[in-house]
A and B are shown apart, each in its own frame.
Chain A
Amino acid sequence: MRRKAQGHPVPMRIREPFKLLAVGAIYFWLTAFALLPNLLVVIASVLERGSDEFVAFAFTLDSYRRLLDPLYLGVLLDSLGLAAATTALCLLLGYPFAYLLTRMPVRWRPVLLLLVIIPFWTSSLVRTYAMVILLQTNGWLNQILLGLGLIAEPLELLYTEPAVIAGMLYALLPFMILPLYAALEKLDRRLIEAARDLGAGWITIFRRIILPLTLPGVVAGCMLTFLPGLGMFYVADLLGGAKTMLVGNLIRDQFLSARDWPFGAAASVLLTGLMGLLLWAYYLSSRRAGRGALP
């Protein structure tokens, strides 16, 4: 006797246990270790600083008010400026680079791409340290400049803002190049040919065809450089000395030395807000470029 189906026929019941496991595991993990912690950060940011515990359970917007304090606002703006400068440099150097990569002969491309992927996956701490070696007072760069007779005595390269920017540029450039390359590679070459055929010049082609279609890649690249650019406290530590402070340093210090968790949490909420803005820009740009919102 065959079991009679009740209501809507469900021929897929055998799949259920497996589906439950697969969907349940990821749901559980992301809820417990991504959603919940971030919710706690938001909660912590509106609580008062505690004396014994890290937070005291009393509502206050004091932490957010303090972000506007000239002392911290200065740090915030400096940090935003540094991250923006780094992002702009990455884009300026990375876009032509990614474009040229897509124009290289097909048989070279995998190797050339791999040479970008390798620094993408390697430790940025190690690479920042490599930058320290290069920029030391008795480091390579000074030696070369001295040798060429461009300078008379070694420059103080380390512990300056340009050194921090150079370090972040070095650490983050691959994160700009890869999404740009992915976007440019998907670009149909025939569109450019069609535009030329219709009489467009290179500037028009770039402005009207290439840029709008690769905009999601540009936004993704900016997101991947700008956000870490705000947070990478060890780059500021190693290359900026105590002179340069990023939002990352500020947050870290609240949690490790100042022990002001609500304030650190508020700064972190600010970073998350910035991420939200960038994600929204990404969503808009990919919708305009006629692709799905999220990969």
Chain B
Amino acid sequence: MSPRNAARIAYLILIYGFLYLPILVLIVYSFNDAKYSLEWRGMTWAWYRNLFDDPDLLRAALNSVLIAALSATVATGIGALAAVALYRYEFFGKPLLQSLIFVLMMTPDIVMGIALLILFASLSLPLGFWTLLLAHITFNIPFVVVTVSSRISGFDRHLLEAAQDLGATEFQTVRRIVLPLLMPAVAAGWLLSFTLSMDDVMVSFFVTGPTFEILPLRIYSMVRLGVTPEINALCTIMLGVTLILILIAQLLLREKT
């Protein structure tokens, strides 16, 4: 290996190290059999067991999964339809809509959070499950549109014309050609929405109330009190779930038909 290549690879390793070292430390310590020590005192599942003994935490986790699944499903429905419409049709205000989706994706979470808070307050909606769901659907939609659009733009426009040419109505074309071809991207969009929703702190912070606690906010309030092995374990589980969903999503997006 030339010195130049060695330097390149060293740089890559350095950055990857920076990205992964803290996470690895976190994971390792979630299994360390010591409450306050850095020293490795042996492997334990104790911290994970503690998590499952905390009914509030379990409730928050369940709430999070519920919100994530529901918001991902609705966002995928609306987002996928929007991607198809943007690809397929000309309609009034199409460039505006495209820009709006892009801007929405770029909007800082905190701006979206307070904007939705003000909306819900002016509608006198009590903060809780419904407001949280509406907010999560909103920030998930642009990610679904982008995921599905990038797949749809890869296909031959003539495919849809061919279907119609052979006698398919618009509905039959969508059902038999567009949807099957889009399925991987739609599924990937759903999974990515799910992870976004599971992990969101900023928007949720503003739009949920004390009646409906979710996992990331629970973690946030725990973390502010300091480092404990239980939080390490909880964060490790969060990382694990996210990792699995991302891997599946990436596999779906890479698969060639």
Contacts and interface: CB of A to CB of B under 8 A. Distances in A.
Nearest to A233: B110
B43 interface: no
A18 B29 CA distance: 53
A29 B85 CA distance: 15
B110 A97 contact: no
A133 B84 CA distance: 45
Contacts of A252: 110, 205-206
A227 B106 contact: yes
Interface in B40-98: 77-79, 81-82, 84-85, 88-89, 91, 93, 97-98
Interface in B120-142: 121-122, 134-135, 137-138, 141
A228 B106 CA distance: 9
Interface residues of B, number: 86
Given A123-B199, A295-B102, A29 B78 contact: yes
Contacts of B111: 38, 41, 231, 268, 271-272, 275
Contacts of B182: none
A224 B220 contact: no
A7 B29 CA distance: 74
Interface string A61-82: 0000000000000000000000
Interface string A143-166: 100000000000000000000000
Contact residues of A: prevailing secondary structure: helix
Interface of A: 12, 14-15, 18-19, 21-23, 25-27, 29-30, 33-38, 40-41, 44, 54, 93, 96-97, 100-101, 103-104, 110, 112, 114-119, 121-127, 129-134, 136, 138-140, 143, 170, 173-174, 223-224, 227-228, 230-234, 237-238, 248, 251-252, 255, 261, 264-265, 268, 271-272, 275, 278-279, 294-295
